[in-house]
């Protein structure tokens, strides 16, 4: 998918259409040793009981990761307003194999 580097788009801060620069957001990996990650693991039914169960020393692979990896990823674009300089996220990602800023 080809995305233009600049798009005229609605800015919720200026409350009008403005020229916006398009960025691809940097992926941030969740740390495996944070307290929040253990809470999330507990919601999934993992990391119950005493000890770290090998989960936090070696990450467990989920089922879809082992068998059919998805070849396309959802886009995560950010739009920076040229008037106020604030950044707006893309409301919903689009599945695509390749993302290119033109
Ligand atoms: Zn703005």
- The per-residue pLDDT of the chain, averaged, comes to 83
The better pLDDT of the pair 61, 15 is held by: 15
33 Cα–ligand 1 center, Å? 38
Domain ranges of the chain: 1-26+69-102
Q: Report how far ligand 1's centroid is from the alpha carbon of 78 (Å).
A: 13
Taking the C-alpha atoms of residue 54 and residue 61, their distance in angstroms, rounded to an integer, is 12
Q: How far, in Å, from the CA of 6 to the mean position of ligand 1?
A: 14
Q: Which CATH architecture has domain 1-26+69-102?
A: Roll (3.10)
- 41 Cα–ligand 1 center, Å: 39
pLDDT of res. 32: 67
- The mean per-residue pLDDT over the stretch 22-41 comes to 78
HEC-encoded secondary structure of 61-74? CCHHHHCCCCCCEE
* DSSP letter string, the chain: -EE-SEEEEEETTTTEEEEEEEEEPPP-PPPTTSHHHHHHHHHTT-S-SSS-TTTTTSPPPPHHHHS---S-EE--EEEEETTT--EEE-SS--EES--EE-
Kindly tell me if the per-residue pLDDT of 28 is higher than 70. Answer: yes
Return the pLDDT at 59: 59
- Rounded to the nearest whole angstrom, what is the distance from the C-alpha of residue 73 to the centroid of ligand 1? 28
Task: Name, in order, each residue with C-beta under 8 angstroms of 32's C-beta and a sequence gap of 6 or more.
Answer: 56, 59
Q: What is the mean pLDDT of residues 6-26?
A: 93
For 75-100, the pLDDT digits (tens) are: 999 999 999 999 999 989 999 999 99
Dist. CA 80 → ligand 1 center (Å): 8
* CA–centroid distance, residue 94 to ligand 1 (Å): 24
Q: What is the pLDDT of residues 52-79, one digit of tens each?
A: 666 565 556 666 666 667 788 899 999 9
Instruction: Say if CB 93 and CB 84 are below 8 A apart.
Output: no
C-alpha of residue 18 to centroid of ligand 1, in Å? 7
């Amino acid at each position: 998918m080809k995305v233009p580097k600049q798009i005229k788009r609605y800015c919720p801060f200026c409350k009008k259409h403005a020229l916006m620069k398009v960025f691809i957001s940097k992926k941030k990996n969740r740390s495996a040793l944070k307290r929040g990650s253990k809470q999330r693991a507990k919601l999934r039914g993992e990391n119950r009981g005493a000890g770290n169960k090998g989960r936090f020393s070696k990450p467990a692979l989920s089922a879809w990761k082992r068998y059919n990896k998805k070849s396309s990823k959802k886009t995560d674009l950010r739009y920076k307003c040229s008037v106020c300089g604030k950044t707006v996220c893309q409301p919903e990602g689009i599945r695509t194999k390749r993302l290119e800023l033109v």
